[in-house]
Amino acid sequence: MKKSIVEALFDVEFTKGALLFFAQNSPSYLQPEEVVHDKNIYPNKKTFLYFEPIGTIAAIKPWNFPFDLPIWSCIAPALMAGNAVILKPSPLTTKTGELIEDIFLQAGASEGLIQTIIGDDEVGKELVQVEGIDMISFTGSIKTGHSIASECAKMGKKYVLEMGGKDVAIVFPDCDIKTTLNGITMHGFMNNGQVCTSIERLLIHKNIYKEFLDKLILKVKEITPVPFANKNQFLIVRKQLEEAVQTGCHILIGGKNFDEDKNIIEPTILECIDTSLDIWQKESFGPVLAVRSFETVEQVIRLANNSIYGLGASVWTNNIDIFSSLAKKLEVGMVWQNEANLPFLEGVWTGWKQSGFGVSLGKHGTRVYTKIKQISESIF
């Protein structure tokens, strides 16, 4: 993974913020909670819920955010809840993974509390199947996520999964054009689109469609193409683009001049009416945006929800009524107005449908690393 210095240092700063957030807030999230009984039914019961550690957690994490993601999605909250963590980083980012263990040791963590294990998918499989690992925290592909879920079910292990997305951006005529152009350009193409909450689908209201697209194309032209993190991803996205063109999609910018030696695909926007095509349905994880117009709110809800994924969605409008009614009907874990891909440490990071199972960040992302025990006293 090769990031710019600005992006890399941003990830490091975000990590520090997350560590301090969990250090300050997890203790209150983990306080025992008294259950409110109906005194007419249970006049002499006093009951509390306790949030107990799960044990040893294996964190299987990807290459796109090799430093911050393992820490905010697992290590920080899991440690606060009293667990130990074994991190398996992607084989592409082993150095970053090893550094995480070193940093915790240097900060005074006891030996074994945070360990980094290096290996390929086979090691990941072993971690899922072996006795002594009590939970898997996974970020990665749907295919691997599915097999982790079924293996964990057999073993009685807990799991939390984040499996990517195909985030939609919906643009209404009353949006602030400059904010919307900047937001979609940034979150459609940041990190070469190799972000789970990258905008990959763009739905624009017909009254603004041509005007907005013309401006977006000009902006996207300014982006300097960057290489993919690996050849495999380059080949997947190139094939997806070639198939899209063969099935009737129309390239508006980019999509040609593939640089095979450097694994580069130019930032690409494709106009595609048929949303059943792969370019609308399968995660690209590259600098590729599929676009079409819509006419009504009902139609845009149908188009947006026509996906196996349900991670994030962004709605670009200054009309709060339109935003609110749409936000309630979108089948995703996170909806932003005039923003995209914005994590709140105090909120949740979560996906619906095939995008995931469970939650990261905040109170829920701390408690996910606990077992709840209910203890009920009888009062005499």
The residues annotated as belonging to the active site are: 162
Per CB under 8 A, which region of 126-134, 204-212, 237-245, 329-337 contacts other proteins?
A: 126-134
Question: Which of 36, 38, 40, 107 contacts other proteins by CB under 8 A?
Answer: 107
Q: Does 85 bind other proteins (CB under 8 A)?
A: yes
Q: Which residues between 182 and 241 bind other proteins (CB under 8 A)? A: none
- Contacts with other proteins: how many residues (CB under 8 A)? 55
Q: Which residues of 84-102 are buried (b: 16+ CB within 10 A; e: fewer)?
A: bbbbbbbeebbebbeebbe
For other proteins, the closer CB: 90 or 307:
90
Instruction: Name the burial class of residue 142, with classes exposed (0-12), middle (13-18) and buried (19+) by CB atoms within 10 angstroms of its CB.
Output: middle
- Contact string 6-35 vs other proteins (x = CB under 8 A): -xxx-xx--xx--xx-xxx-xx--x-----
Nearer to other proteins, 133 or 175 (CB): 133
User: Closest CB to other proteins among 98 and 331?
Assistant: 98
Interface stretch with other proteins, choices 113-121, 213-221, 305-313, 322-330 (CB under 8 A): 113-121
3-state secondary structure of 102: helix
Tokens of 94: 């082993």
Give the shortest CB-60-to-other proteins separation in angstroms.
Answer: 13
3-state secondary structure of 160: strand
Residue 107 phi, psi (nearest 5): -80, -5
Residue with tokens 């398996």: 88
Select the residue interacting with other proteins from 59, 74, 80, 301 (CB under 8 A).
Answer: 80
Q: Quick one: which of 33, 37, 47, 113 contacts other proteins (CB under 8 A)?
A: 113
The least CB distance from residue 346 to other proteins, in Å, is: 16
The single residue among 35, 130, 308, 375 that binds other proteins, judged by CB under 8 A, is 130
Structure token digits, residue 284: 């690209």
Who contacts 2 (Cβ-Cβ below 8 Å, separation ≥6)?
226, 227, 229
Token pair for 51: 């949030």
Which is nearer to other proteins, 95 or 231 (by Cβ)? 95
Task: Give the pair of three-digit tokens for residue 52.
Answer: 């107990």
Q: Please, what is the minimum distance in Å from the beta carbon of residue 4 to other proteins?
A: 6
Binding flag, residue 135, other proteins (CB under 8 A):
no
* Two tokens, residue 18: 């997350």
* List 37, 82, 91, 364, residue binding other proteins (CB under 8 A): 82
What does the alpha-carbon distance between residue 41 and residue 46 come to, in Å, rounded to a whole number? Answer: 12
CA 286 from centre of chain: 15
DSSP letter (8 states) at residue 227? B
Residues in CB range of 128: below 8 A, 6 or more apart: 58, 136, 147, 148, 151, 152, 155, 157
CA pair distance 291, 213, nearest whole angstrom: 9
3-state SS assignment for residue 263 = coil
Pick from 60, 61, 62, 66 the residue near other proteins by CB under 8 A. 66
**153 touches other proteins by CB under 8 A:** no
Tell which one of 73, 83, 185, 307 touches other proteins (CB under 8 A).
83
Residues that bind other proteins (CB under 8 A): 1-5, 7-9, 11-12, 15-16, 19-20, 22-24, 26-27, 30, 53, 55-56, 66-67, 76, 79-80, 82-86, 93, 95-96, 99, 103-104, 106-113, 115, 117, 123, 126-127, 130, 132-133
